[in-house]
Chain A
Amino acid sequence: MESLSAYFDKTVLAWLVAVPFLAAFAVLFTPRQSVKFLRNFSVGAMLVEFVISWHLLARGDYTTAAYQFSASYPLIESWGISFNVGVDGISLWLVMLTTFVTPIALYASWTSVETKVKEFALCFLFLECAMIGAFVSLDLFVFYVFWELMLVPMYLIIGIWGGADRVYASIKFFLYTMVGSLLMFVAILYVVNAYHGVTGTYTFDVTQLSQLVLERQAQLFLFGAFALAFAIKVPMFPFHTWLPDAHVQAPTGGSVILAAVLLKMGTYGFVRFAMPLFPLASHAFAPTLALLAVVGIIYGAYCAWVQKDVKKLVAYSSVSHLGFVMLGIFSVTQQGISGAVLQMVNHGISTGALFLLVGVIYERRHTRLLSAFGGLAKGMPLYTLLFVIVSMSSVGLPGTNGFIGEFMILNGTFLSERLPTAFVFALFASTGVILAAIYMLHAVLKMFWGPLDNPENEGLSDVSGRELTALAPLLALVFVLGFFPGVFLEKMNPAVDGFLRAYNAKLIESSENDEARVLKADALNGATRGDVKLALGQAEGDK
């Protein structure tokens, strides 16, 4: 037993990536007629994956900012590419969220996905492999590969099992996110090349690359390229328009994964890659991004309010909620970032549950138009209860998970020294709290209250045991996170502290560089030289 643990300590992350992949491989060689086996096997494999991921929780030491379970398997040595993995208190929770939500989404899908079951299972398993891979990669090349790999199964999930307009939505989703990412790849190559110019070695290892202090101008462009890719994925206003289309057309399971995990890639990317690599540019862009985040919070909420389709309403609410996450990150305060990471998890749980719930009513009524509902509370009390609880969590009611995240983000924004007039940012962002109540309660009112005057809504069956099984873990987490966020925060905080320390140290150093650059500029008349300088001894300076 002990030796098994020790073995897993070294290889658990590789296994987490490999298990869904191997399962997908097995599915590939299963006859498509054995539908029942395929369904059970794929969910079973994901549950095994979930169990394995508990090893991260149980055996990792998250009192430090250091990466846990790190391992490196060389892939292309001459280019310095290796399968270099590790988790810290930030990625831990996103990995856990992924392994937790994916089986639920797949399990819930098995009531509605009747055709091409084998392919659906295959897509989901590949998707999980890619998502986990992206969260644990510390190698930019491998990260990029997983990042793009995620698109393929999701593209297929929307395009094959989606709604009436699925082809348009899936192509839009694919192209929009893909185009944004291409520039990021160019930027990655530039950074690697610059690092090579300084040290003479090629590496894609982000921990090493972030030792590099690039020139301000270069940082601005490179950060821009990264930020575009991530902002589209988040999605940040004004790059969000693929989201409502994708969500509305995606099958329930796809929507759940899209909202719960895929969107987090963007915000995670900012924290893990864009900010540590380009602190000077992050610093310069922070007020702009925070402003866009606040606009997104308010704008997303307003758009959500008047949607006729409840799934679209939830999709726009994601724009608003992710605005909070972005604001927290770019407040560059400890609680802002901790709150943002927590809010990523919260949003995964609440919005995942909301999409599941929307799927429940869609399966019964084959419509999602708010105007088609009304008075559902009469016939579906349990469904109503669940929906109201999740709505309240989405609104950020204290005692539910949503509150802690929003509270910490708003508080972090309020106390931020990086945002000019942080008070005003916090003030406007806080109005999102009011708007969230408006659009969510609007939906609840239209769906559940009032007389049951549409005969088609009569005699609908309440939430089934199967549906409840899928929802119950999410519901439980709503309250666990609401009442005991400390469990999550205590593992997260050291990583966030470490991130901030390194970020600030590097920012100060680059600023000095920057000052010198300004001096140089007026003397040199533009002839640039010494593009890069290795931040020697920075790591020592931190200790």
Chain B
Amino acid sequence: MESFYETALGLIVLIPMLGALLNGIGGCFFKADKAIVKAVAIGAVASAFVLACIAFAGVVQGHGDDPSFALTQHLYEWFSVQVDGRTVPVNVRFTMDALSGFMTVMITGIGLLIHIYAASYMSEEPSFARFFAYLNLFMASMLILVLGSNLPLMFVGWEGVGVCSYLLIGFWFENPAYAAAGKKAFITNRVGDFGVLIGMFILLSATGSFEFGEINRHASSLTMPFQLGSISLEASIATMAVLFLFLGCTGKSAQLPLYVWLPDAMAGPTPVSALIHAATMVTSGVYLACRLSPVFVQSPTAMAVIAVVGTLTALIAASIALVQNQLKKVLAYSTVSQLGFMFAAVGVGAFSAGIFHVLTHAFFKACLFLGAGSVMHAVHAHGDADFRDIGGMKKWMPYTNITFFISCLAIAGIPGTSGFFSKDMILHGALNAGEFFEFAPWLGQAVFGALALGAACTAFYMFRLYYLAFTGEFRGGHGHGHDDHGHDDHGHGHHGDPHESEFGITVPLMVLALGAALVGFLGMPSWAHLPDFWNEWLDGVVAGLPNAHEGHHDSSTGSIAAIVGTIAGVGGWLVARGMFKDKPWHAAEHLSPLHQFLMDKWRVDEFYEAVLIRPMTALAKVSAGIDRVAVDGLTKLAAGAARGFGWLMTRAQTGEMHAYSASMAFGIIGLTWWVAYPHAHIDAAEKGDAVHFVAGSGLGYEYRWDFDSDGEFDTEWGADKRDVSHAYDADSAVAAELVLVEAAGRFSGKYKVRIDEVSGAVDLSTRHLGDGWRTQPHGHTPPSVRYEEGKVFVRPGASSVKVNGTSAEGSEIPVLPGSTVQFGDFAKVRVDAVVRSTLAVRNAFGNLDKTRVDVVVQPKAPAHAARKADKNSSVMALRSEAQ
């Protein structure tokens, strides 16, 4: 029986989906009023939020007794697959435990704020309903992603958010660059999804389940080597599965090498950037890693890869963010960089730190994006805002300014803010990872060092952004619609001084900033004897390294992490303050090569263009060309050959009388020969000892038979002798055929050998008879059978021999065709006779033709023994051999 809380789970997903449907149909095609659209969209998310809170309360209630407590709602069986003959159902089943619970609340909560914000921000948008339909659909997909209890269901959400992201990035589809960015996002994500699919299959075949719970329970069995056909790879099953899943994460969560779509994704409306491309969707990779953390920790190799990739992503993206000149561009690279931090945490086994950073990041990054949106709203910049056009926003936008500043403090990791605590937890985790990577104990320290550098960069570029945008003089007011501002769909009612945005925008900002400031206190360092609710909360569902608990309390590493983190954050801030506070903005005329390189984002897009996209396009063109020329060419060649042959035939139609009469003459000669000379042909059907012969018929044919081919015909000439039967006895054989009747019951009737004068003796061996022929335990000489002048002799070898059930002795035992010879206990061989029959045919012209046919017959056994095994071989197709 489902509890009250559990019933809520399905509704949490269903209500936003319904909202999407209503707005999609009603808003887009029946032109519903914007107020109604707004009410439906916000109402749906608000209801989902309330339900999420209620369900979460249920989880909190259960969590006290059992840290791995989960609410589950089973809706129906989606489909099923079979593994090793066992049916594995794939269910539409939602579960909420400590991990997915907090994710659900976070997603619906931040989603609600962003919906409220968007209702104001997008108020002048003509496709208002379409926007909210997409946004609600996104919420539904995202909630399926976190609430799904198994991999395929999670995958529904995983791809669903991808589609919504595609649609929302290309929301202003008339701008080709935006539409292309959407496509790029979807395809890049698909590369990752391919990894998730394969990872899923590996886990299914290894654990026999798609359910997260089951997979995690069987995680320890995944350390066996991965089997590729019959080859065992170096890598374990866990390594392969985790690496493939991680490929999916690099797509969805914008890690190297698949991060390239995210900066372009900022083409979407700003609330989308905040909700999807900062707070929720892009963190689903981290969620997946935490969800399957027991599997992830089975493979130090894969974890090392994740740690390195995460760290590199954090550093590279941060370096690019240092020099970018547009608000959202900086924030985009900052997001990539922060996601790198999260994966570095996952890689060093600090899963809970990674997911903690997801939470804090959701607050401050959403706030930053929305703040940037508020600024853009104020100066009527669309798409993105360049530093050229803004500056000194502090003066006009007090609320935006203060919330933006708080969030900058948080992302920079200034002590006391949420970002400090989560980043500290990551750094601390990296320092404690040493022993986990046996092959590279220095990896933890290296990650720590690199992340500290990344943290300093973060503080620098964020405060550079803040000071350039909010302090100094306002530089805008001149340029709308220059190249970067592709979209001009908004109504431009008034130009002039910037202004603070309306409440619909500032209230969400304030709530988010409050969160950015405070949520960090959920996870204070326990080494300093502060309460760490976070790790306690997730303890039951997220795995950690074996030494995680001691690590949390290790005050020496803890204090190092805290001090280094503080120095990095504050240091970056102070440097940026000195360089940019109240300074005028001037774009450098000539950039240093390094600066230019960073400005060009390490030229990664160009690199991919050159090594992936162009070769693939070329391959596609070549394929299409091959298809037209070669594959279809072969078809045309075949058609051409037929046509050519037809043409050749027409060449015979010369119209030359003598050529026609010559060919006619040859034809007549041929026909005459065919009529004048008979053609002998025999069909024979054997039935026991008798054979039924049928000769080929022809004009005026008479037949004469010599059944034993001794040269003397046994019948007279007669036209009625076409169809005759003859019974054979054991003496008429021209050869013998040995038929293995029984040997361990296995080859009955299937093994046959013909022996005649030419082939002489045949050895029967174990392969034919099985093992039972041996009477002496160490007898090696197999029995053999010899044919000589119509007689068959059996040499028993090391076997005992019975002929027709009677024991026979001697070095060579004569056997008549039609007898059954038993070797040892049960291997039986029947001796059949091959008889040869000759047919002579003459026709009315007196011309003669002859042919012979060999037939295997089973002559009547001379003795009393009946052929018991006959039923096995009564059916035989025969072949006549015309000669």
What residues on B are CB-neighbors of A452 within 8 Å?
A: 174
Q: Which of B79-125 contact A (CB under 8 A)?
A: 79-83
Q: Does A211 contact B (CB under 8 A)?
A: no
| Interface pair B187/A516, CB less than 8 Å apart | no
| Interface pair A523/B753, CB less than 8 Å apart | yes
Name which residue of chain A comes closest to B170, CB basis.
A449
| Interface pair A242/B635, CB less than 8 Å apart | yes
Task: For the complex formed, measure the closest distance between the CB of B792 and the CB atoms of chain A, giving whole angstroms.
Answer: 16
What residues on B are CB-neighbors of A517 within 8 Å?
A: 750
Task: For the complex formed, measure the closest distance between the CB of A401 and the CB atoms of chain B, giving whole angstroms.
Answer: 11
Name A404's contact: one of B79, B174, B753, B878 (CB within 8 Å): B79
> Given A434-B187, A445-B180, is A529 in contact with B875 using a C-beta cutoff of 8 Å?
no
Q: Does A489 contact B (CB under 8 A)?
A: yes
| Interface pair B160/A524, CB less than 8 Å apart | no
> Given A176-B635, A426-B201, A445-B180, is A333 in contact with B228 using a C-beta cutoff of 8 Å?
no
- Bound-state CA distance A516–B745 (Å) is 13
Task: For the complex formed, measure the closest distance between the CB of B165 and the CB atoms of chain A, giving whole angstroms.
Answer: 13
Q: Does A398 contact B (CB under 8 A)?
A: yes
What residues on B are CB-neighbors of A531 within 8 Å?
A: 877
| Interface pair A524/B752, CB less than 8 Å apart | yes
1/0 contact trace for B422-436 toward A, CB 8 Å?
000000000000000
Q: Does A410 contact B (CB under 8 A)?
A: yes
| Interface pair B190/A434, CB less than 8 Å apart | yes
- Bound-state CA distance A256–B450 (Å) is 58
1/0 contact trace for B742-760 toward A, CB 8 Å?
0000110111111000000
Q: Does A35 contact B (CB under 8 A)?
A: no
Name which residue of chain A comes closest to B881, CB basis.
A527
Chain A contact surface mostly: helix
Name A303's contact: one of B163, B173, B174, B627 (CB within 8 Å): B627
Q: Does B560 contact A (CB under 8 A)?
A: no
Name which residue of chain B comes closest to A407, CB basis.
B152
| Category for how many chain A residues contact B | 35 or more
What residues on B are CB-neighbors of A411 within 8 Å?
A: 81, 201, 204
| Interface pair A197/B183, CB less than 8 Å apart | no
Q: Does A28 contact B (CB under 8 A)?
A: no
- Bound-state CA distance A198–B877 (Å) is 7
Q: Does B632 contact A (CB under 8 A)?
A: yes
Name which residue of chain B comes closest to A238, CB basis.
B631
| Interface pair B747/A408, CB less than 8 Å apart | no
| Interface pair B152/A437, CB less than 8 Å apart | no
| Interface pair B747/A516, CB less than 8 Å apart | yes
Q: Does B548 contact A (CB under 8 A)?
A: no
Name B179's contact: one of A334, A388, A450 (CB within 8 Å): A450
Task: For the complex formed, measure the closest distance between the CB of B724 and the CB atoms of chain A, giving whole angstroms.
Answer: 21
- Bound-state CA distance A519–B762 (Å) is 14
| Interface pair A303/B751, CB less than 8 Å apart | no
Q: Does B176 contact A (CB under 8 A)?
A: yes
- Bound-state CA distance A424–B198 (Å) is 11
- Bound-state CA distance A529–B28 (Å) is 75
What residues on B are CB-neighbors of A407 within 8 Å?
A: 152, 197
What residues on B are CB-neighbors of A48 within 8 Å?
A: none
Q: Does A502 contact B (CB under 8 A)?
A: no
Task: For the complex formed, measure the closest distance between the CB of A301 and the CB atoms of chain B, giving whole angstroms.
Answer: 8
- Bound-state CA distance A412–B229 (Å) is 15
| Interface pair B750/A306, CB less than 8 Å apart | no
Q: Does B880 contact A (CB under 8 A)?
A: no
| Interface pair A175/B877, CB less than 8 Å apart | no
| Interface pair B623/A302, CB less than 8 Å apart | yes
Name A414's contact: one of B205, B639, B751, B878 (CB within 8 Å): B205
Which of B202, B627, B639, B876 lies at the interface centre, i.e. has the most chain A CB atoms within 10 A of its CB? B627
Name A399's contact: one of B156, B187, B194 (CB within 8 Å): B156
Binding-face segment, B404-412, B535-543, B568-576, B613-621 = B613-621
Binding-face segment, A5-13, A52-60, A110-118, A377-385 = A377-385
1/0 contact trace for A502-543 toward B, CB 8 Å?
000000000011001101100110011111111000000000
Name A513's contact: one of B190, B202, B750 (CB within 8 Å): B750
What residues on B are CB-neighbors of A176 within 8 Å?
A: 635
| Interface pair A450/B80, CB less than 8 Å apart | no
Q: Does A441 contact B (CB under 8 A)?
A: yes
1/0 contact trace for A472-487 toward B, CB 8 Å?
0000000000011110
- Bound-state CA distance A398–B879 (Å) is 59
- Bound-state CA distance A431–B192 (Å) is 11
| Interface pair B620/A530, CB less than 8 Å apart | no
> Given A306-B624, A513-B750, is A382 in contact with B29 using a C-beta cutoff of 8 Å?
yes
1/0 contact trace for B221-262 toward A, CB 8 Å?
000000011000000000000000000000000000000000
| Interface pair B762/A532, CB less than 8 Å apart | no
- Bound-state CA distance A445–B176 (Å) is 9
- Bound-state CA distance A484–B81 (Å) is 15
What residues on B are CB-neighbors of A523 within 8 Å?
A: 751-753, 762
> Given A519-B768, A527-B754, is A433 in contact with B174 using a C-beta cutoff of 8 Å?
no
What residues on A are CB-neighbors of B864 within 8 Å?
A: none
| Interface pair A303/B79, CB less than 8 Å apart | no
- Bound-state CA distance A426–B240 (Å) is 14
- Bound-state CA distance A176–B194 (Å) is 36
| Interface pair B201/A408, CB less than 8 Å apart | no
Name which residue of chain B comes closest to A377, CB basis.
B173
| Interface pair B877/A197, CB less than 8 Å apart | yes
| Interface pair B624/A302, CB less than 8 Å apart | yes
| Interface pair B205/A415, CB less than 8 Å apart | yes
| Interface pair A198/B875, CB less than 8 Å apart | yes
| Interface pair A427/B753, CB less than 8 Å apart | no
What residues on A are CB-neighbors of B503 within 8 Å?
A: none
Task: For the complex formed, measure the closest distance between the CB of B9 and the CB atoms of chain A, giving whole angstroms.
Answer: 17
Task: For the complex formed, measure the closest distance between the CB of A296 and the CB atoms of chain B, giving whole angstroms.
Answer: 11
What residues on B are CB-neighbors of A241 within 8 Å?
A: 627, 631-632, 635
Beyond the given pairs A407-B152, A486-B80, 9 more chain A to chain B contacts, judged by CB atoms under 8 angstroms and listed by A's residue number, are: A175-B639, A238-B631, A302-B620, A441-B186, A449-B173, A489-B80, A520-B751, A523-B751, A530-B749
A selection of 22 A-B contacts at a CB cut-off of 8 Å is: A241-B631, A302-B624, A306-B624, A375-B173, A385-B28, A397-B163, A398-B152, A398-B160, A407-B197, A414-B202, A430-B194, A430-B198, A434-B187, A441-B166, A441-B183, A449-B182, A451-B176, A486-B79, A520-B752, A529-B879, A530-B749, A530-B877
